[in-house]
């Protein structure tokens, strides 16, 4: 199951109309914002209530359909959209997360709290916008452009992304630090020396949904002393940069990822890692997450030789140009 799916639910008085682009979508909001009404309409469809119409090109099922034996029923459902409300406590369990990750379904979570076991994207967290009888979904987290010259860069782990930005901080290598896991970023931002500094946080936006909310509530974030740079993944960033930006096949995928990424990938980060590994196989730039090949940070040394990844662009600069509004001059020679 892959692609974009439009869901339209209508009754005599209401209409909900929205699209799903990834395996996991989260709908948030306070009471009386329309979340429960949406779920109730889905239940009305399942109960075949007159006057309620669901339009979808694939089956849509609710948590009620799964019932008390969700762990047995869910594996029998395929190529469907599963909508789960916040009263389904089992959605927070490791057992559910394991089944969801093995599933080829799309999931919609109507939930106020972060789902720590599910790798959902920052871009797929929505609230309901109401205009009369019409309801749609709008993203909660949007990038607000502003300029920053960071004192520190915090990356979510010590793998290839950290190695790249450590290379960038050649004048002040101690300014680039790893959080050793995205769940540790919040705690680091509250501690010295970061709490009193300008900090750029670099993390994989494709799976950062459960961590973004509490960071966005920080006073430092609201005061623009913390900037979140959340590409889909570091691999996605590399695919947009010098080595691949001239390739038509890559630009087509990056232009419409939903049409290429099926539900066997639990996040787009997994897909872009797999794609980058395949594209660099049997080349000097052969990619692994554990160690960043020099080909991604050193300008080409194969000029005149038959390397299929030969480019004449400045590789590091081509990546940094994608980190908009950030001035790295304090950290670089």
Q: CB neighbours (10 Å) of residue 15?
A: 16
Q: Whole domain around residue 106: which residue ranges?
A: 5-139
Q: Where a domain ends, among 139, 164, 198?
A: 139
DSSP state letter for 283: S
Cα-Cα-Cα-Cα dihedral of 322, 328, 332, 333, to 10°?
100
What's the whole-number mean pLDDT along residues 103-131?
93
CATH code of the domain covering residue 100: 3.40.50
**Whether residue 126 sits in one domain with residue 156:** no
133 Cα distance to chain centroid: 31
pLDDT digits (tens, 9 = 90+) for 232-276: 999 999 999 888 888 899 999 999 999 999 999 999 999 999 999
Phi, psi of 134 (to 5 degrees): -100, 135
Q: What is the pLDDT of residue 229?
A: 94
The pLDDT-based confidence of 306 (bands split at 50, 70, 90) is low
**Whether residue 319 sits in one domain with residue 170:** yes
**Whether residue 274 sits in one domain with residue 209:** yes
**Whether residue 171 sits in one domain with residue 134:** no
> Rounded CA gap, 279 and 298, in Å?
18
**Whether residue 196 sits in one domain with residue 50:** no
**Whether residue 218 sits in one domain with residue 78:** no
Q: Where a domain ends, among 112, 139, 166?
A: 139
> Rounded CA gap, 235 and 271, in Å?
9
**Whether residue 124 sits in one domain with residue 170:** no
**Whether residue 313 sits in one domain with residue 169:** yes
Number of domains composing the chain: 2
**Whether residue 214 sits in one domain with residue 94:** no
**Whether residue 169 sits in one domain with residue 91:** no
What percentage of the chain reaches a pLDDT higher than 70?
96
Q: Where a domain ends, among 139, 168, 192?
A: 139
- Residue found under tokens 């399942």: 46
pLDDT digits (tens, 9 = 90+) for 109-122: 998 888 999 999 99
Task: Considering only residues 269 and 143, tell me which one the structure prediction assigns the higher pLDDT.
Answer: 269
Residue 293 near residue 163 (C-beta atoms within 8 A): no
Residue 93 near residue 118 (C-beta atoms within 8 A): no
């Amino acid at each position: 199951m892959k692609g974009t799916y439009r869901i339209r639910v209508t009754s005599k008085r209401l209409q909900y109309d929205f699209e799903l682009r990834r395996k996991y979508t989260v709908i948030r909001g306070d009471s009386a914002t329309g979340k429960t009404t949406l779920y109730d309409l889905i239940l009305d469809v399942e109960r075949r209530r007159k006057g309620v119409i669901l339009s979808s090109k694939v089956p849509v099922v609710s948590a009620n359909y799964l019932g008390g034996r969700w762990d047995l029923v869910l594996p029998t459902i395929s190529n469907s959209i599963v909508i789960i409300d916040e009263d389904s406590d089992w959605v927070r369990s490791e057992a559910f997360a394991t089944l969801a990750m093995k599933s080829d379904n799309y999931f919609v979570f109507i939930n106020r709290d972060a789902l720590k076991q599910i790798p959902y994207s920052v871009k797929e967290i929505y609230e309901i916008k109401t205009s009369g009888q019409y309801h749609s979904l709008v993203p909660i987290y949007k990038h607000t452009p502003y300029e920053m010259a960071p004192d520190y860069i915090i990356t979510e782990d010590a793998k290839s992304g950290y190695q790249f930005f450590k290379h960038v901080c050649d004048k002040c290598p101690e300014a680039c630090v790893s959080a050793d896991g995205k769940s540790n970023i919040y705690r680091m931002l509250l501690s010295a020396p970061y709490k009193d500094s300008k900090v750029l946080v670099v993390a994989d936006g494709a799976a950062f949904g459960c961590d973004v909310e509490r960071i966005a509530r920080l006073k430092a974030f609201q005061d623009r002393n913390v900037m979140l740079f959340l590409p889909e993944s570091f691999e996605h960033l590399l695919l947009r940069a010098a080595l691949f930006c001239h390739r038509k096949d890559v630009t087509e995928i990056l232009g419409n990822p939903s049409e290429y990424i099926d539900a066997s990938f639990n996040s787009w980060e997994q897909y872009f890692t797999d794609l980058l590994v395949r594209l660099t196989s049997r080349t000097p730039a052969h990619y692994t997450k554990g160690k960043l090949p020099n080909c991604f940070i050193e300008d080409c040394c194969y000029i005149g030789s038959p390397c299929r990844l030969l480019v004449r662009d400045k590789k590091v600069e081509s990546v940094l140009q994608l980190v908009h509004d950030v001035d790295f001059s304090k950290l670089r020679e």
